[in-house]
A and B are shown apart, each in its own frame.
Chain A
Amino acid sequence: MANETQRSVTSTPVGARPPERAPRHEFATTRPPDAVQRYSTGERLTHWAVALAYTVLFLSGLALFHPFFYWISFLFGTPTFMRILHPFIGVALGILFFAYAARLWRENLFSAADRLWLRRMFAYMNGREEARVEGKYNAGQKAMYWSMIIMVVGLLVTGIFIWRPYIAPAVPLLGRRIAAVIHVIFAFIMFVGIGIHIYAAVWTRGSMRAMTQGWVSRRWARYHHPGWYDRVARKETVR
């Protein structure tokens, strides 16, 4: 029944099943009965859609950036198709990302405790204990959140400026030149961020599962996000 309890506290109307369905507990699953729901199905789908879009954008961008990677373009059928695809996917990513991010901004507001976390971040990375995290996200995740917003906005705007044949012809050459440079710089910052993001997910075991299956163990929750865990346990609305 713990499972049922946990379900009820997560704020996932998407995951809510119609009552007439057969009860879930008869279904064989690796999910322990006391697991804590961290990401709803909708969040996970959106996340992975964004991730897929990013992968496409990254690969195609990489192919356009450096001739060494041009072969990647053939994965798209033809380089020209890849070039046509890239901006459309970019717009798609923008929409998905903002649809996703719009719901998370409150949880990503910095709080006083975040300062301590950041101060102890490198120590944590070197194997010391993590500073206590009060919200759903730690300060590193919040920093990632806000930097991604800046990056995506930047990439989207600059990308649109250099979008042939629809927008670029209307943009003055200097604007296109600046846009192209910013696009590239942001793409690399974003790559670095995404790299850290992926590595952090891999490094903190259980995180991947959280984003794939939606749940974390109680221990994981208590260890990484004690504040959040407490509130979840107290059935408070998590902010």
Chain B
Amino acid sequence: MNLSRRQFLKLTTSGIGATSLGALGFAPDRVLADVRNFKLASTTQTRNTCPYCSVSCGVIMYGLGDRSKNAHLKLVHIEGDPDHPVNRGTLCPKGASLIDFVNSPHRLKFPEYRAPGASEWQRVTWEWALDRIARLMKDDRDKNFVAKNAAGVTVNRWTTVGLLAASASSNETGYLTHKIFRSMGMTAMDNQARV
């Protein structure tokens, strides 16, 4: 092929032109929009129940990771369980933002102790905290346990240490709580139902 110098220049300039036009955005419009990635694509799903009011809506929790050993499962999203006969997938504003409770910056992460008169928490170990609580409880019970009342009737009660049970802990926790503390003879035991 014989190209005159003039022809050659023409070709190359148009080539350059085409390339730079492409760079300048003259390329054909992209037809597809960039939709945000569907964020639940490979999450782990777990069924649970909303812990707030007593409607007890079913929820599905979506966790990052596939439960493999090295993946630390972190919940990233919670939404209503569409199968649940009461909420049918719906959630109220509190339920719809459950993830912010689970991942709240105010979640407690380690045991703490506040000494008498102190104005700060100090971080302690579970061992230390539980040992000390057990000791305080036993000492108080040993000291204040009422085996018989004034009339001589066996009453076996302990009234000087009290317990408030949660309103959102499971039946199993509630049952175990009751079993444990009633076995100590505790009477000052209540839950949020009273309030």
Residues of A within 8 A of B (CB): 70-75
User: Is B26 on the interface with A (CB-CB < 8 A)?
Assistant: yes
A residues within 8 A CB of B26?
71
State A74–B26 Cα separation when bound (angstroms).
10
Give residues 1-52 of B contacting A (CB, 8 Å): 21, 23-26
State A71–B25 Cα separation when bound (angstroms).
5
Give residues 48-78 of B contacting A (CB, 8 Å): none
* 8 further contact pairs, Cβ within 8 A, besides A71-B26, A72-B24, A75-B24: A70-B25, A71-B21, A71-B24, A71-B25, A73-B25, A74-B23, A74-B24, A74-B25
B residues within 8 A CB of A71?
21, 24-26
Query: 11 A-B pairs, CB-CB below 8 angstroms?
Result: A70-B25, A71-B21, A71-B24, A71-B25, A71-B26, A72-B24, A73-B25, A74-B23, A74-B24, A74-B25, A75-B24
Residues of B within 8 A of A (CB): 21, 23-26
B residues within 8 A CB of A70?
25
| Minimum Cβ distance to chain B for residue A74 (Å) | 5
Q: Which 6 residue pairs across A and B have the least CB separation, nearest first? A: A71-B25, A71-B24, A74-B24, A74-B25, A71-B26, A70-B25
| Minimum Cβ distance to chain B for residue A69 (Å) | 10
Closest to A70 in B: B25
State A72–B23 Cα separation when bound (angstroms).
11
Interface centre among A70, A71, A74, by most B CB within 10 Å? Answer: A71
State A70–B21 Cα separation when bound (angstroms).
12
State A72–B20 Cα separation when bound (angstroms).
12
Closest to B21 in A: A71
A residues within 8 A CB of B23?
74
| Minimum Cβ distance to chain A for residue B69 (Å) | 44
State A208–B24 Cα separation when bound (angstroms).
31
Closest to A68 in B: B26
| Minimum Cβ distance to chain B for residue A47 (Å) | 29
A residues within 8 A CB of B21?
71
Closest to A63 in B: B25
State A71–B29 Cα separation when bound (angstroms).
12
Closest to A73 in B: B25
State A71–B24 Cα separation when bound (angstroms).
5
A residues within 8 A CB of B25?
70-71, 73-74
State A12–B25 Cα separation when bound (angstroms).
46
State A19–B141 Cα separation when bound (angstroms).
108
| Minimum Cβ distance to chain B for residue A68 (Å) | 10
Closest to B25 in A: A71
Closest to B24 in A: A71
State A225–B13 Cα separation when bound (angstroms).
45
B residues within 8 A CB of A72?
24
State A75–B26 Cα separation when bound (angstroms).
12
| Minimum Cβ distance to chain B for residue A77 (Å) | 12
Interface centre among B23, B24, B25, by most A CB within 10 Å? Answer: B25
| Minimum Cβ distance to chain B for residue A99 (Å) | 34
State A72–B21 Cα separation when bound (angstroms).
10
A residues within 8 A CB of B24?
71-72, 74-75
B residues within 8 A CB of A73?
25
State A74–B20 Cα separation when bound (angstroms).
11
State A74–B23 Cα separation when bound (angstroms).
8
State A73–B23 Cα separation when bound (angstroms).
11
Closest to B29 in A: A67
State A118–B21 Cα separation when bound (angstroms).
44
B residues within 8 A CB of A75?
24
State A220–B150 Cα separation when bound (angstroms).
129
Closest to A75 in B: B24
| Minimum Cβ distance to chain B for residue A76 (Å) | 11
State A205–B25 Cα separation when bound (angstroms).
38
| Minimum Cβ distance to chain A for residue B163 (Å) | 55
